Structure 1
């Protein structure tokens, strides 16, 4: 997990106007993130809109990112769901040689108990040939993986090496950081509190905004990890308004408009998601224009 400390980015999937996967734009997003200095890439997380992608499209995205990355950075693959056996079967049959870890979301829709969440991840742990990053995002799953459950999993299974904690609750993250095993990592899944979480002892972030502003955001996290508080805070406070903007009308609609403004990719999303409205688009455009002040 040492290689996964710092800034990872949850890659969005660019689409063309006809809603097909835009391979050339995806390659540009990958290169832009790598050239900007991020530490690793996350494929097929929530930001990728994988909920509205076919199996073949997901495979296309995976192979495109592997090829574009060309071994430069560690890769993390999203492998999760609310059907435990289906996730286990995928882990047993998929070739994971290109990946440093999987990112596995807590079961959604079913709303399991804490014991159910524990048993779900136990089954995944027993099936996975590579390290596992738990993913807690109650706003999407309808259930919260409590610190006691995270710590139980972290202490009992050596291949469960980290959590992407996206409850938006710094106190909850600190409870995990306080009592976690030495080699277990707490990674922010919330861009707005990524830096405070690092200051509290977290290991970095799996970011959305980081792929739109990779140079600045990854530098902020590195400064935070090195306890350069004033310099890190300067970047954090500069980006606060933009972080709010990119999530204001849903993810990844906001970050896709950042790509559009930067000329990297179109701002096309698939229903039921829609593009940001004209007012928000203009505000994002204005922020992108002034972001070069940090360069």
Structure 2
């Protein structure tokens, strides 16, 4: 199944101070994202703290997402890890759940050689009952997924169904190539240039910032769909400028407060990344208003 044109939110995962998942907050976030026009959701990606969530909470997060979505859009789930053994363990937590695919970066503790990268993804496809999506994140994994690697994996399995990447040139090559299956999805994750990539034909795009900007994201998406690229650029800039201001006190710290301001209970950040103080809350409230997400 190829992903539809439009935006995919990398959902934030709400937990309490002990790391216990808060399902009602998650359900509200998902409903708001779908109301804003999301064409799919990514559960437990980077913004969703896949790498930090307690293992005993992992399945509950996915179950809640499936129930909240209720068949309205595809559900992708992060299953990143550093060996096939550990990926198999994650798949056991997902056993029997009706999801549309798993998303994995390359192993991220050590850099992988091209051959190791191919063996990893082929190995995942061999043991996974779900479709597989690559997550190209070289700034973290120290490993760049290349066109050649994708072709090599596709030669070994038909379960590879797409890639999330911020590499415009790679995305463009994949879209234009006659050697890539027609149901292979290119999901663009370069938020800063979403509007440019869209005009290049890379029309499915993903980021975590959409979850704390449902109003702005809806207008961005509608503007791209109607070809109003000037308005799209205006609203993309609002999201980017909000992100810049959030970074001044720490992205995850400010993100936690932004999500609370929008009515989503919980921490939404690794336990060492946020401060519960009035000053940071008020600062975040001011910038969320400044950039037009709330009045």
Kept in 1, the 8 Å contact 2:30–2:69? The answer is yes
Q: Distance in 2 between matches of 1:225 and 1:96?
A: 36
* Higher mean C-alpha displacement, 69-78 vs 259-268: 259-268
Kept in 1, the 8 Å contact 2:80–2:103? The answer is yes
1:67 aligns with 2:67: yes
Q: Distance in 2 between matches of 1:155 and 1:232?
A: 38
Query: Where does residue 136 of structure 1 map in the other structure?
Result: 136
1:22 aligns with 2:22: yes
Describe the SS at the equivalent of 2:273.
Answer: coil
Kept in 2, the 8 Å contact 1:112–1:143? The answer is yes
CA shift, 1:5, in A, is 3.4
User: Can you list the C-alpha shifts for 1:113-134, whole angstroms capped at 9, x where unaligned?
Assistant: 1111111111112223332211
Query: Where does residue 204 of structure 1 map in the other structure?
Result: 204
Describe the SS at the equivalent of 1:56.
Answer: helix
Describe the SS at the equivalent of 1:163.
Answer: strand
Describe the SS at the equivalent of 1:224.
Answer: helix
User: Can you list the C-alpha shifts for 1:145-186, whole angstroms capped at 9, x where unaligned?
Assistant: 1232234334653321211004xx434444444436243222
Describe the SS at the equivalent of 1:72.
Answer: coil
How many residue pairs align between the two structures?
293
Describe the SS at the equivalent of 2:51.
Answer: helix
Query: Where does residue 85 of structure 2 map in the other structure?
Result: 85
- 1:147-186 matches, within 5 Å, as 147-154=147-154, 156-166=156-166, 169-179=167-177, 181=180, 182-186=182-186
Kept in 2, the 8 Å contact 1:13–1:48? The answer is yes
Query: Where does residue 103 of structure 2 map in the other structure?
Result: 103
Flag the 1:125–1:19 CA change in 2: closer, same or farther, 3 A: closer
TM (norm. structure 1) is: 0.84
Kept in 1, the 8 Å contact 2:59–2:94? The answer is no
Q: Distance in 1 between matches of 2:74 and 2:49?
A: 21
TM (norm. structure 2) is: 0.84
Q: Distance in 1 between matches of 2:41 and 2:19?
A: 23
- 1:43-58 matches, within 5 Å, as 43-58=43-58
Kept in 2, the 8 Å contact 1:210–1:217? The answer is yes
Q: CA RMSD in A?
A: 3.0
Kept in 2, the 8 Å contact 1:77–1:101? The answer is yes
Flag the 1:97–1:63 CA change in 2: closer, same or farther, 3 A: closer
- Bigger helix share: 1
* Higher mean C-alpha displacement, 6-15 vs 142-151: 142-151
Q: Distance in 2 between matches of 1:254 and 1:155?
A: 43
Q: Distance in 2 between matches of 1:245 and 1:20?
A: 29
Q: Distance in 2 between matches of 1:125 and 1:222?
A: 35
